[in-house]
Chains A and B, each alone.
Chain A
Amino acid sequence: MELSSILPIARQELIVAIRNKWTVIFAFVFGSLVLAISYFGTVTAGEIGFQGFNRTTASLLSLVLYLIPLVALMMGTQSFLRSEGEDEMLFSQPVSRSAILGGKLLGLFAAMTTATFVGFGLGGLVIATQTDAEGFLGYPAFVLLSLILSLVFLSLSMLAAVASKRQTKAFGIALLLWFFFVILYDLLVLGGSLLLKERSANYFIFASLFGNPVDIVRVAGLLSMKGGEVFGAAGAALLKFLGGYTQAFAAAITSLILWTVIPILISLRIVRNQDI
């Protein structure tokens, strides 16, 4: 890889994301979410005040699964979309198209990482000072999974932008991807499993887990908290078929890596043969 070409592009992408206030806004949103969920999480039970990491992480996980894919898709599509004069200047340099896409992806991921670390980090720090540290180990794992989820959806946004030349089409595809993975997919799997017999339904649910990165992160997050009782059908099927936490977690991470790498490879293949 041409690291000496990728790094300046990544650096510029990070500077642009910070100057455009994307990073600051997301850091603020993430931090506020952590504090709000931790402080008001038990308000329905008539209590108010900071909860420990275990409860906060479990509640945050559900919200992050909606929010991070959307943020990554919008931010990524905006960046990977073509701007005629800018791209002609950039692509006319003696740098490969792979390095340009790679640099942009790295820069965007650095911006997401900064927002995540600052937001969740400061929020976590407040919780740590206000409560005991029980369940603290699950929190960094949750932050790490959030970052992996953002990387998956940044690479999907790259594919959406590269495959569609028009801005409206690219954002349309990005929103469709979000709706499919975050909302529709689980309903389809649930509907499909109802049509099958129990044994086949279990296999179907197990296999379907790998078809949606959001579900994989949900299950991996619950695995990292060892919350067996709240796994749901997919998590239970994963544990049952793979035989343990370690194997299940390894399978989840491997499939998330594939969910990142495959869209990147397809994007590179498309962009190599495209006219700028």
Chain B
Amino acid sequence: MISVQHLTKAFGKFKAVDHVSFDVREGETFALLGPNGSGKSTILKSIVGLIKPTGGDITIGGVSAVKTPQASRKALSYLPQRVGFHDCLTAREVLEFYCRLRKLPISRIDDVVHGSEFNFNGFSEKRVAELSGGMKQKLGLAVACLADAPVLLLDEPTVSLDPAGAIAFRAFLKTLKEKGKTIVFTSHVLADVEMLADRVAVLVDGRLTALVGIDELRQRIAERKQSLEEIYLDYAKTA
């Protein structure tokens, strides 16, 4: 579904991403794991077409995200790490705006707000200025769900959520996974990775240091009696 080949992104002399290659299969939940500054968000933004890669290619469903980003974006929805909307608009107005922009019927808002397993209720008439960081993140997720796109790209999705919100979010993501969505998310919350991901790409200093299936990771945890944190630190050290 998503193919990233020799992706390189340099900011001046600094290489944020260095020849990273991986494929994400249709219906797979794929995690980009790494410390701050490892290039996770840069890779995700390159897939969305927000960042122009210095080298390499990315395709989504066979459409190049580098050459034709607008066309490739039709197949995806993206939730940035820090979402932002105009303070003076209500949550519902924000959703209506994104419905219009993606040429979706306005009734789609009710499908998402009332019809999904995630609790979007209770804030749709509130102004964005009145929403907490977690509520804004929820609104961002609701926007990302509007298009019902086959690919979801989530940048540190649980970072602004409280523990209850994070648990609910993981459960919601599992339902999306069951519906066959292809999900790519970045995280340094290992609990998210362990619970949600089918495969994990470990990044350190812009380079891919490991690409492993979650079952393989679990096997290592069992065999070596190591925690996921310890295994992750091993990968980071060997980079």
Q: Which residues in A have some Cβ–Cβ distance to B below 8 Å?
A: 4-5, 7-9, 11-12, 15-16, 19-20, 83-89, 91-96, 273, 275-276
Contact = CB atoms under 8 A, between A and B. Distances in A.
A11 B97 CA distance: 9
A273 B50 CA distance: 10
Interface string B66-85: 00001101101110111111
B235 to A, nearest CB: 28
26 contacts: A8-B100, A12-B89, A16-B86, A19-B88, A19-B89, A85-B82, A85-B84, A85-B140, A86-B84, A86-B85, A88-B84, A89-B78, A89-B84, A89-B85, A91-B50, A92-B48, A92-B49, A92-B76, A92-B77, A92-B80, A93-B73, A93-B98, A95-B101, A275-B45, A276-B45, A276-B50
Interface of B: 45, 48-52, 70-71, 73-74, 76-78, 80-86, 88-89, 93, 97-98, 100-103, 140, 143
Contact of B50 (A7, A12, A92): A92
Given A88-B50, A88-B80, A94 B86 contact: no
Contacts of B50: 88, 91-92, 275-276
Contacts of B77: 92
B51 A83 contact: no
Contacts of B45: 88, 275-276
Contact of B51 (A16, A96, A276): A276
Given A9-B101, A16-B88, A95-B101, A89 B140 contact: yes
Nearest to B53: A275
A225 B85 CA distance: 45
A275 B51 CA distance: 4
A8 B80 CA distance: 21
Contact of A89 (B49, B73, B143): B143
A93 B85 CA distance: 14
Contacts of B85: 85-86, 89
A94 B102 contact: yes
Contacts of B76: 92
A34 to B, nearest CB: 28
Nearest to A91: B50
A92 B78 contact: yes
Contacts of A15: 88-89, 93
A93 B83 contact: no
Given A85-B83, A85-B85, 19 more contacts: A5-B101, A7-B100, A11-B100, A12-B86, A12-B89, A15-B88, A16-B89, A20-B88, A84-B82, A84-B84, A86-B84, A88-B45, A88-B78, A88-B83, A92-B73, A92-B78, A92-B80, A93-B101, A275-B52
